[in-house]
Chains A and B, each alone.
Chain A
Amino acid sequence: MSINIRNIALFSAMGLALVMTGMFQSWPLALTILNMALISAVMALGVNMQWGYAGIFNVGIMGFTAIGGLAAVLIAMPPVGDAWAAGMAGSLEPWRAGIAGVVLGLMIGVAAILGAITIYQRMAPGKMRGLAITMVLFVGYLLASFVYGPATTAITRVNPATEGFLGGLGLPVILSWPVGALMAAGLAFVVGRVALGLRSDYLAIATLGISEIVIAVLKFESWLTRGVNNVSGIPRAVPRPVELQTRDWVQALAEQVGMGHAEMARVVELVSYAILFSIVLGLLIWLSEKALNSPWGRMMRAIRDNETAARAMGKDVSRRHLMVFILGSATCGLAGAMMVTLDGQLTPGSYEPLRFTFLMWVMVIVGGSGNNWGAVLGAFVIWFLWVQAEPLGRWLMDVLTSGLGADSGLRQHLMTQAAHTRLIMMGAALLLMLRFAPRGLIPER
């Protein structure tokens, strides 16, 4: 790892910006930005693995992030006992009830798809094959929905106001981080097998579609995620500020620096998260740097720069692509689990591609694709701008429209919509970097 003055200066400037935010705005705000920046940095590392190392254009980052978030729910939430066996006491037979019904239904569905694939491979092409595939899929679908539908309905009926879903395993939430990564990796495996062979623009559309489907599942399979009702109250990784506030050392610390008890408790909580996230990020950077500078990393970049030549040299390009696609997506899943851990809730409705996919791309491009430190810096800079652009936009709009007079309708309209100027700023940042510094703030070595 080559440390040079320029990079240190860039990171220091970023740190200074955060410190200034703490001093002039508030420390909890600065730390909130820091925490999301750390999570974004993890995601940016994942995107960088795919784009920077291998040239894979993934526009479905949001989907992998969201599935990581789901892991946090499935691992940390206490199980809803009644839901697991929902309907047992009611009219439903046990095999159509609760978790049993869901699993059985999904298994039938998967079996039908596998059956259809087998028929496609074994039977000779022709009308009979088409008919057979259609029949298998149709019957499979009917059977699956016969079991699956009532089971999920029964689950959502269990105490719908607060539960209405299966809940989770009740394990420590930190455990969801590796699990989230694994779940994202599993999804990436399936997607990659289907889509990685495609031209890059097709892959982009395919991943965009997948991520929308993941969000749709999260939003509408309420037996799993409570859907648009959100899962809140996910057990915390760090004690809540209300608990911290009562601790003696927190109170003592607060008095020492002259801060309110409540604010200090919040700061302590956020710092604790920041430490946890920094450990993960540090570990990932270390691993990524090692990987990038290993023979494996050199091979990946060779493939990226000249796929044909790499293929001619006997490299299995598709396998390598699949591998790096899985690794990158797993990293995004990990970040997704971290984010839900920080928020303490899963809100499927809040996943927007602009924020969770395209903003990540801005981070990687601005930071410097192909360079891990660049991706991390890009994540920090862009996330900082994203948060601070809102007041900045409002101020800017205030200045721009100040000539219009306070009661001008146009001025009022523009002032209420001023927050959206941050989208314009992000776009401008991306376009300017792409045009004038396409290798990013910290270029690839």
Chain B
Amino acid sequence: MDILNALVVLTNFVLIPGLAYGSQIALGALGITLIYSILRFAHFAHGDVMAFGTAFVILGTWGLQAAGISFGPLPTALLALPLGIAVIILYLLLADRLVYRFYRRVKAKPMIFVMASLGVMFVTNGLTRLLMGPGERRFDDGQRFLVSAREFREWTGLAEGLALRSSQVITVVVALIAMGVLFWFLNRTKSGKSMRAYSDNEDLALLSGINPDRVVWITWAIAGTLMVLAGTLYGLDKSFRPFTYFMLLLPFFAAAIVGGLGSPVGAIVGGYVVAFAEMGITYAWRRVFSHLLPADWMPAGLMQALPVDYKFAVTFGILVVVLIFRPTGIFRGKTL
């Protein structure tokens, strides 16, 4: 029984939240990796564009709620997703037309693209705050729990409860669907293959008659969709705050680099690696071990390797270790 209790605690506080958080990071990192392999620069505006798109999802949610439309037990935000995605795709295409296309034409160095993305980051950040303010917003509705801790305890008779929040399940399901569709697109459709070809060998792709502008547009559209999905799921699971979204840049990049920059599979694996490492190292394991160890063996502390405040340090630590020992990432990066 004790082992079961320990397992339940672990699942409740580390495995399930880690799976949800990892899915969110994976979606963001996928966008980073796609943009990197097609446009060949590190997209620093990622977190902010994500926040901007989520802002529209929130506005849409409010609009639907005001109109009395709901999605039954599911969050209304899912209904507002298409609005956010559409706005963000238009926004990214506009940014590409006004900003990035010029540098592509003159074949600017990657660093210039990064600088330009800093400019887009500032503008987007300002727009988001203008729209939503800098504060925290919650926009989840519908049924909060699929399984509540109390119900679980009653069903199983265990001392520890296991709560399954609907936002967590939705996150994992939506992320899996998005990943499945993305891989189907990249590996099975002509457009997807042309993206991979462009990422592999730009000159030969041009020679084969692949239209580079079209590839770039598709990339922005996919990355924008992934951003809005990641942002909405993160906001449903936790909460929306422009600064938090901006800061997600670090785990996104860490995941993409750890997995191998340019490799979609790597981005997903990297996302979960980063998430579980963050959760595992900043979690206070005392409660898990209290079921496993005899009372007088228990050490005094919380059994927490690092305070939660240092989760960025964990992300960063993984990044450094990977960069030193396997600079191309887990899956060899640089190609799509």
A binds B: yes
Using CB atoms and an 8 Å cutoff, list the residues of chain A in contact with chain B: 55, 57, 141, 145, 149, 194-195, 198, 200-202, 204-206, 208-210, 212-213, 216, 219-220, 352-354, 358, 361-362, 365, 414, 416-418, 420-428, 430-431, 434-435, 438
A-B contact pairs, 15 of them (CB 8 A): A194-B324, A201-B42, A201-B110, A204-B44, A209-B319, A212-B250, A216-B310, A417-B131, A420-B126, A423-B123, A424-B123, A427-B119, A428-B123, A434-B119, A435-B99
Q: What mask results when residues 308 to 321 of chain B are scored 1 for a CB within 8 Å of chain A, else 0?
A: 01101101100110
Report whether B42 and A205 are in contact in the complex, using a CB–CB cutoff of 8 Å.
Answer: yes
- For the complex, give the distance between the alpha carbons of A362 and B320 in Å: 28
Name 8 extra pairs, CB < 8 A, besides A201-B41, A424-B123, A434-B119.
Answer: A141-B305, A209-B254, A219-B309, A220-B309, A358-B122, A421-B130, A430-B118, A431-B119
Contact of A427 among B102, B126, B310 (CB under 8 A): B126
Contact of A417 among B119, B130, B310 (CB under 8 A): B130
- For the complex, give the distance between the alpha carbons of A219 and B126 in Å: 26
Report whether A205 and B112 are in contact in the complex, using a CB–CB cutoff of 8 Å.
Answer: no
Residues on B with C-beta less than 8 A from A194 are 320, 324
B121 at the interface (CB under 8 A from A): yes
Q: What mask results when residues 99 to 140 of chain B are scored 1 for a CB within 8 Å of chain A, else 0?
A: 100100000001110111011111111110111011000000
Residues on B with C-beta less than 8 A from A361 are 115, 118
- For the complex, give the distance between the alpha carbons of A213 and B306 in Å: 12
Task: Please count the residue pairs between chain A and chain B whose beta carbons lie under 8 angstroms apart in the complex.
Answer: 127
Q: Which residue of A lies closest to B311 (CB)?
A: A216
Using CB atoms and an 8 Å cutoff, list the residues of chain B in contact with chain A: 41-42, 44, 99, 102, 110-112, 114-116, 118-127, 129-131, 133-134, 243, 246-247, 249-250, 253-254, 257, 301, 305, 307, 309-310, 312-313, 315-316, 319-320, 323-324, 327
Report whether B309 and A424 are in contact in the complex, using a CB–CB cutoff of 8 Å.
Answer: no
Report whether A206 and B323 are in contact in the complex, using a CB–CB cutoff of 8 Å.
Answer: yes
- For the complex, give the distance between the alpha carbons of A213 and B99 in Å: 32
Report whether A216 and B313 are in contact in the complex, using a CB–CB cutoff of 8 Å.
Answer: yes
- Interface residue SS majority, chain B: helix
Known: A202-B257, A220-B307. A431 touches B320 (CB 8 A): no
- For the complex, give the distance between the alpha carbons of A421 and B305 in Å: 42
Q: Which residue of B lies closest to A201 (CB)?
A: B42
Report whether A216 and B130 are in contact in the complex, using a CB–CB cutoff of 8 Å.
Answer: no
Report whether A198 and B316 are in contact in the complex, using a CB–CB cutoff of 8 Å.
Answer: no
Contact of A57 among B114, B133, B254, B327 (CB under 8 A): B114
Report whether A213 and B319 are in contact in the complex, using a CB–CB cutoff of 8 Å.
Answer: no
Q: Which residue of B lies closest to A59 (CB)?
A: B44
Known: A213-B312, A431-B123. A365 touches B115 (CB 8 A): yes
Report whether A205 and B127 are in contact in the complex, using a CB–CB cutoff of 8 Å.
Answer: no
Report whether B99 and A431 are in contact in the complex, using a CB–CB cutoff of 8 Å.
Answer: yes
- For the complex, give the distance between the alpha carbons of A220 and B243 in Å: 19
Report whether A57 and B323 are in contact in the complex, using a CB–CB cutoff of 8 Å.
Answer: no
Residues on A with C-beta less than 8 A from B305 are 141
Report whether B116 and A434 are in contact in the complex, using a CB–CB cutoff of 8 Å.
Answer: yes
Residues on B with C-beta less than 8 A from A204 are 42, 44, 114
Report whether A424 and B130 are in contact in the complex, using a CB–CB cutoff of 8 Å.
Answer: yes
- For the complex, give the distance between the alpha carbons of A215 and B111 in Å: 26
Contact of B246 among A209, A220, A354, A365 (CB under 8 A): A354
Report whether A420 and B134 are in contact in the complex, using a CB–CB cutoff of 8 Å.
Answer: yes
Report whether B122 and A430 are in contact in the complex, using a CB–CB cutoff of 8 Å.
Answer: yes
Identify the interface centre among A202, A205, A220, A417: most chain B CB within 10 Å of its CB. Answer: A205
Residues on B with C-beta less than 8 A from A427 are 118-126
Contact of B319 among A205, A216, A417, A424 (CB under 8 A): A205
